[in-house]
Amino acid sequence: MTKRLTTLATLASLWAILALAPMATLSAQTLATTGNIDLDAEHTRLSQEQKTIDDRYEADRALCYKKFAVQNCLDDARARRRVDNDDIRRQTATLNDIERQRRGTDELNKLDQKNSSTAEADAEAKRQDALKSQQDREQRAADHTASRAATAAQEAEQRRSFESKQQTHAEDLAKAARERAAEPASVKAYEDKQKQAREHRADVERRNAGNTKPRSAPLPEHGASNAVPPSPLPATLEPPAKPATPATPATPATPP
């Protein structure tokens, strides 16, 4: 009996709290107060009490028909049953409100968990996006640096190649100028050599012509010492060799 009265008092206080505050704005204290109630057990208890009220009402009616003032007795039985039923309805309504409150709390917790998971996923996605953006910026910077270095190296190589060609061209021009400047001296030296060669050949031919002598008479044979030697025939002198025609000097090639 004491336990029942305690439960009824608790439900009455809960009913007063729920009547004053909507479920969406229940305080943390209300949530803590209703958190330990076994709703299934309370519904079972209320069902049993409702059955007890109904059985007592039937018993009261049966007794009323045995009394002289039947109607007054029935009215009193109905009044007691009405009071008991009102109390059961209030307790049932309180339990229903608590059930709705718990369902709402569960839904809010699920939503909070979902939002928390979604927020964590969004935060991780944003972090990955920021990391990827940073990596992309660093890669673009590295590519730009490498491209600039390659361009600078290519320009330096082109500049060296151009300077080398310019130097080679200048050397070719200087060499051609030197050859053009030395061309008259080369022609004169060649002509002097040709003249000396002609004079040398002519001198050799004159010496050879001056050294030519007539043939001597043969010696007499043995036993013919008294014979009159035949008159020697005059020696035929060979005509001097015709001097060679000097070769025409070749025209030296004009340097480029």
Residue 132 belongs to a domain:
yes
Which residue range forms the structural domain that includes residue 64? Answer: 2-139
pLDDT at 74: 92
Residue 223 lies in a domain: no
Query: By percentage, how much of the chain surpasses pLDDT 90?
Result: 41
The answer to whether the beta carbons of residues 190 and 249 sit under 8 Å apart is yes
Longest CA–CA span in the chain (Å) reads 235
* pLDDT in the model for residue 122: 86
The pLDDT of residue 142 is: 93
Across the chain, mean pLDDT equals 77
Asked whether residue 151 is assigned to any structural domain, the reply reads: no
> What is the count of structural domains for the chain?
1
pLDDT of 178 strictly over 70? yes
Q: What is the 3-state secondary structure (H, E, C) of 50-112?
A: HHHHHHHHHHHHHHHCCCCCHHHHHHHHHHHHHHHHHHHHHHHHHHHHHHHHHHHHHHHHHHH
Q: What is the mean pLDDT of residues 12-31?
A: 40
pLDDT range class, residue 179, cuts 50, 70, 90: confident
Read off the pLDDT of each residue in 22-26 and give the average, rounded to a whole number. 34
Task: Tell me the residue length of the chain.
Answer: 256
Does residue 168 belong to any structural domain of this protein?
no
Q: What pLDDT is attached to residue 79?
A: 94
pTM surpassing 0.75? Answer: no
Q: Does any domain span residue 99? A: yes
185-215: pLDDT as tens digits: 778 888 888 999 999 889 888 888 877 655 5
* Whether pLDDT at 32 is above 80: no
- According to the model, what pLDDT value does residue 116 have? 85
Mean pLDDT value across residues 123-131: 90
In a domain, 171, yes or no: no
DSSP E strands in 156-204: the ranges are none
If pLDDT is split at 50, 70 and 90, which confidence band does 256 have? Answer: very low
Instruction: Average the pLDDT over 217-238 and give the result.
Output: 51
Q: Which of 73-87, 168-182, 230-244 has the lowest mean pLDDT?
A: 230-244
- Count the neighbouring beta carbons within 10 Å of the beta carbon of residue 98: 23
For residue 24, is pLDDT > 60? no
Tokens representing 89?
A: 């309805």
pLDDT in tens, 89-120: 999 999 999 999 999 998 999 888 888 888 88
Report pLDDT for 45: 93
